[in-house]
Amino acid sequence: MSENIVGVTPEFFILADLYKPFDLAELFKNENSVELEIGAGRGDFAVEYCADHPDVNLIAVERKLNYLKRGINKAKQRDLSNIRFMNVEVQHFLEEYIERESLQAAHIYFPDPWPKKKQKKRRIVQLQLIKMLSERIVSGGHLHLRTDHADYFEQMMAVMAEQDWFEVVETPEKVSRYKTGFERRFVADGLPIFYASYRRVSVKSA
C-alpha cells in the first residue's frame, strides 16, 4: 500500500511531493486512463479538454511556475478533479516517475522552437523523448504534436520517420477541437498551424 501523495494543493505538485513507485490511481483517486501534456503553459488546452472529458485524467507538466499558476486557477474555477499540474522538468519526470505502459496519450503543443541554429539541440522533440514516450504509452495509445514553426515541424517529421514505435493517424476531433494559449494567438495572427498525431504500435524488433 502506497503512502498518500500530498501536493502543495490537491491539484498542484512539485518534485518534492513525488515518490516512487508513483501511483497514478492514487494521484487521481480513480482508475481512469491517464494522459500527459508536456509544456502545458497556462493550461488552456488542459482545462478545456478535462472539463469536457471527465473520464480522462490529465497530468499537465510545466516547468515555469508563473504559467502553471494560471492553469491551476482556471482548473479551480471550473472545479475540475481530473487534472494534476506538475511543476517539474518533463524528461526527469518521465524517466523517474512514469512507469512503462501507463499513459493513454501524450500531447506536445507548441514546444519552445529554439530558432537559432546553435539552440536547436535544446528542442524537446528528439528521438530520446519519443523513445521514452513510446515505452510509457500503451499499445493503441496516442501521441499528438502541434507547432506553428515550419522548421521545427520538419524536425518533428524527421524524428518520427526514424522510429517504428508509432504510426501516423489523423488527429481526432476530440483533441483538435481544443486550442492552446499560444495557438489562439498564432491563429489570430493568421499563422499556419501544423498538426500531427500517432498511434503506438507494437515494436517490430528489439
Ligand X SMILES: C[S@@+](CC[C@H](N)C(=O)[O-])C[C@H]1O[C@@H](n2cnc3c(N)ncnc32)[C@H](O)[C@@H]1O
Site for ligand X, rule CB under 6 A: 39-41, 61-64, 67, 89-91, 109-112, 124, 180-183
Instruction: Give the pairing type, strands 34-38 and 12-14.
Output: unpaired
Does the annotation mark 189 as catalytic?
A: no
Question: CA–CA distance from 170 to each of 60, 66, 152, 194, 195 (Å)?
Answer: 23, 33, 19, 12, 9
**Minimum distance from residue 127 beta carbon to ligand X (Å):** 16
Burial (CB < 10 A; 0-12, 13-18, 19+), residue 138, is middle
Sheet holding 57-61, edge to edge: 12-14, 83-87, 57-61, 34-38, 103-109, 137-147, 194-200, 166-169
**Minimum distance from residue 107 beta carbon to ligand X (Å):** 8
Between 56 and 132, name the residue whose CB sits nearer to ligand X.
132
Selecting among 23, 52, 55, 112, the annotated active-site residue is 112
Between 29 and 184, name the residue whose CB sits nearer to ligand X.
184
Between 2 and 73, name the residue whose CB sits nearer to ligand X.
73
**Minimum distance from residue 117 beta carbon to ligand X (Å):** 19
Between 109 and 165, name the residue whose CB sits nearer to ligand X.
109
Residue least distant from ligand X (Cβ): 39
**Minimum distance from residue 118 beta carbon to ligand X (Å):** 17
Q: Report how far residue 174's alpha carbon sits from residue 168's, in angstroms, rounded to the nearest whole number.
A: 17
Please list the active-site residues: 112
